[in-house]
Amino acid sequence: MPQTTEPADHPAGPVHRFAEIPEGRIHFVEQGTGPVVLLVHGFPESWYSWRHQLAALAAAGYRAVAIDVRGYGRSSKPSEVSAYRMLAHVADNVAVLRALGAETAIIAGHDWGAPIAAHSALLRPDLFTAVALLSVPYAPHGATRPTEAFARLGGDEEFYISYFQQPGRAEAEIEPDVRGWLAGVYAGLSGEAKPAADDQDGNGLTRMTVPRGGKLSDRFPADTTLPSWLTEADLDYYTGEFERSGLTGALNRYRNVDRDWADLAAWQGAPITRPALFIGGDRDAPTHWMADAIKAFPVTLPALSGSHIIEGCGHWVQQERPDEVNRLLIDWLHGLPA
């Protein structure tokens, strides 16, 4: 059974709990009552990335549940790379739903959480009845092996997902100064960041590539002053989580892209037929390098009811623009079939 490990500050406040999975546990934070809205974060974040949504969704009549994805925070961190395949993440979401005692949920994801949410709705539409995707649009399984596609995307440099493939390589860059690295990536991908000097196309890709023989942090802006939406206390929280957990579990998600491609071959080109919502930022790189996926929504997300690109917003959509995202989410939720 799920366990309550911290009392709510008040009866309607957030509660920390755990769901059992074969590899251990998934930590989650819930607030409110009503239909379940399951919130799945991306890299390098945690349940805390949804801190602005929990109370807002609860006030709107929903049971908001933000998880620590396996490999993060207080969730279990299996040692095998293959334990972080997409099928395992979908199974974790099912386990959380069971721990909540709920029959169905609406699911929302940001960054890597968006593909996890999308595949939860694709593979278990009986359980996940609607899906909201933030930052990363849905792209069905294709004919090209992902690592080959990412290698081409990097051009003369190394695309960040390619850089993350070798176990230990990115960890060696990040873990000596977790706080500094996190500050750099949060600031660099924020809508408030100045464009990189060599970003002539305006697509943000130069923040996502690594010079040959270099490090991803070589692409961080020289000025890593925290953006206005991120406080020192927020950065302290994220830093503490990753200093305790390390980065390997989080990075292992990237190391399964080819394994996912093999696992999900039967769903090549498959649309998600459940009601859907997309929210991106016009200063977020995936909005640009995945523009074709957004254009394909009439085919890939036939029940899409809204696609919103927020002006001046970067990658950390629900943290950068919480009020706007909350309004878009809640309006969409209220419009879903009962």
CA 309 to chain centroid, in Å, comes to: 17
For the cut 50, the answer to whether the pLDDT of residue 102 exceeds it is yes
Choose the catalytic residue: 27, 52, 89, 315: 315
Q: Rounded distance, CA 274 to CA 108, Å?
A: 12
Query: How high is the pLDDT of residue 219?
Result: 87
Which segments within 112-211 are labelled E, that is strand?
128-134, 158-159, 209-210
For the cut 70, the answer to whether the pLDDT of residue 3 exceeds it is no
Confidence of residue 212 (pLDDT cuts 50, 70, 90): confident
Q: How many CA atoms lie within 13 A of 103 on its CB side?
A: 1
For 215-272, give the DSSP string.
-GGGGS-S--PPPTT--HHHHHHHHHHHHHH-SHHHHTTGGGHHHHHHHTGGGTTPPP
Query: How high is the pLDDT of residue 280?
Result: 98
Rounded alpha-carbon distances, angstroms, from residue 273 to 3, 124, 130, 278 = 34, 11, 9, 14
pLDDT single digits (tens) 18-69 = 999 999 999 999 999 999 999 999 999 999 999 999 999 999 999 999 999 9
For the cut 70, the answer to whether the pLDDT of residue 274 exceeds it is yes
Burial of 143 (0-12, 13-18, 19+ CB in 10 A): exposed
Q: In terms of Cα–Cα distance, which of 153, 80, 71, 61 is closest to 112?
A: 71
For the cut 50, the answer to whether the pLDDT of residue 7 exceeds it is no
Q: Rounded distance, CA 183 to CA 224, Å?
A: 6
Query: How high is the pLDDT of residue 194?
Result: 83
Choose the catalytic residue: 68, 92, 111, 284: 111
Confidence of residue 155 (pLDDT cuts 50, 70, 90): confident
pLDDT single digits (tens) 111-128 = 999 999 999 999 999 999
334 a catalytic residue: no
pLDDT single digits (tens) 74-84 = 999 999 999 99
For the cut 90, the answer to whether the pLDDT of residue 211 exceeds it is no
Q: Which two tokens stand for residue 89?
A: 């993440």
For 31-80, give the DSSP string.
E-SSSEEEEE--TT--GGGGHHHHHHHHHTT-EEEEE--TTSTTS---SS
315 a catalytic residue: yes
Percent of the chain with pLDDT over 90: 86
pLDDT single digits (tens) 169-197 = 999 999 999 999 999 999 999 999 887 55
For the cut 80, the answer to whether the pLDDT of residue 198 exceeds it is no
Burial of 253 (0-12, 13-18, 19+ CB in 10 A): buried
What CATH architecture does domain 4-334 belong to?
Answer: 3-Layer(aba) Sandwich (3.40)
> Do you find a cis peptide bond into 44, omega within 30 degrees of 0?
yes
Phi-psi domain of 208 (left: phi exceeds 0; alpha: psi -120 through 50; beta: other) = alpha
Rounded alpha-carbon distances, angstroms, from residue 336 to 128, 330, 332 = 13, 10, 7
Query: How high is the pLDDT of residue 2?
Result: 36
Q: Rounded distance, CA 256 to CA 267, Å?
A: 17
Q: What is the mean pLDDT of the chain?
A: 93
- Number of residues written out for the chain: 338
Query: How high is the pLDDT of residue 196?
Result: 59
Answer yes or no: are the C-beta atoms of 18 and 30 closer than 8 Å.
no
